[in-house]
Amino acid sequence: MTTRLARVVAVGALALLVAGCGTVEEPAEAPPTDVVSASPTPSETPSASPTPTAITREEAGARYLELVAPVNAGIEAWNAAAAASDYATMRAMAGERAASYRSFADGLIAAEWPPEAEAAVDRLVSELAGDVGVFVQVGTSTTDAETQQALALAAPPGSAAQELRMLLGLDNIPAG
């Protein structure tokens, strides 16, 4: 994630630089050559700053649990409604589920992760994006048949969350 963020920032900076480039008009006359330049100011002594340390596996695991808590809070009710084919309840819950998944994905993107976990985080964010789309479709459906069609579009549960949990030293929780 850190390398991806650096790439996005670099591309954005490059775009701004290129956008700012254009034709520059030359000054009408050259500046006088007999101007004495100001003496350079003494440089400040660089202050010692602590070397940044990478996030630990334990810190990343705690952050993951914090981010996923709102998603997990609604799983039982959603699964109960799904098991009962209670599509009206699922439609009513879908907006909140979409928001919690979106917030989870945003938190994953914004957080710092150990290098060995970054690929799993990227895959999980992709999986969550698909889930959000399904929840939005369920929430906008108006009939049980439309709800069933939206649910049929859902991809099977992915493995990125389990992989990430294992990489962060957390217990493996089965999907669903």
Q: Which residue has the tokens 């909140």?
A: 96
Share of the chain above pLDDT 90, in %: 63
Is residue 79 pLDDT above 90, yes or no?
Answer: yes
Residue-averaged pLDDT of the chain: 79
Name the pTM for this structure: 0.69
Burial of 43 (0-12, 13-18, 19+ CB in 10 A): exposed
Kindly report, residue by residue over 2-45, the tens digit of the pLDDT: 444 433 333 233 232 223 333 334 445 555 555 444 444 545 55
Q: For Cα atoms 10, 133, 92, give the angle at the middle one, nearest 5 degrees.
A: 135
pLDDT at 29: 53
Kindly report, residue by residue over 110-167, the tens digit of the pLDDT: 999 999 999 999 999 999 999 999 999 999 999 999 999 999 999 898 999 999 999 9
